[in-house]
Amino acid sequence: MLNYLSDQPIVAYVALAFAELALAAVWYERRSRKIAWLLLAPPLLAAGVFAVSVLVTTDRQQIVHACREMARDVVANRADSLNTYLTDDFLGVYHGARLDKPGAMAMALGEKTRFRVKEITVNDWEIGITGDQATVTVETEMRLETAELGGAAMKVFFYLNWVRRPEGWRLRSADEPRIGAARLEE
């Protein structure tokens, strides 16, 4: 329940707004002191929802933060977050080749330099969490500056498998990225 309130607080705010309106209508009809005191409940509950949404970091938020941090580091030509978030037994695929953790880190920074990636924007997420496993589909847009393409934007879809470890969520594997492809339907 806390995860839901933290990820989707707007639903609770809307429900509390309707409750406040209903209570206000009842108070207007009856002008009861008891109903007047009840009018305080929805705003107080909304404050509680706000506190939960700010203070609780959900699994989904942790994964999103890690993905964004890795994208920022690749653009900045750093491997710090890749080293942090990739598991030691990481396995990725790129151009049909299997990559371990050091290979994936070298490939990410090499391709960043090759294509002169200037910016990575995350447009959409699909995150499915089951226990200590998470599957993530990330739609990104990469802004490039290459001799072949000039300044271009390219959509890239990443299919990632995460695992929860004692130190937090870590990236266990990554399927072949799909460049300019539509989302795969399963």
The mean per-residue pLDDT over the stretch 93-115 comes to 86
Is pLDDT at 70 greater than 80 in this prediction?
yes
pLDDT at 1: 56
Higher-confidence residue of 150 and 145: namely 145
pLDDT at 172: 95
Please provide the average confidence, as pLDDT, over all residues in the chain: 85
Q: Which residues of 80-98 are buried (b: 16+ CB within 10 A; e: fewer)?
A: ebbeebbeeebbbebeeee
Query: Are 12 and 1 spatial neighbours (Cβ–Cβ below 8 Å)?
Result: no
Name the nearest CA neighbour of 177 among 97, 93, 98: 93
Strand ranges (E), the chain: 86-94, 97-99, 117-130, 133-146, 150-165, 168-174, 178-179
* Residue range 119-141, pLDDT digits in tens: 888 888 899 989 999 999 999 88
**d(C-alpha 144, C-alpha 118), whole Å:** 6
pLDDT band at 96 (very low <50, low <70, confident <90, very high): confident
Rounded (10°) CA dihedral 172, 178, 184, 186: -30
Which one-letter amino acid corresponds to residue 43? Answer: P
pLDDT at 83: 87
* 101 Rama sector, left if φ>0, alpha if ψ -120 to 50, beta otherwise: alpha
Fold (CATH) for 59-179: Nuclear Transport Factor 2; Chain: A, (3.10.450)
Strands 86-94 and 168-174, sheet pairing: parallel
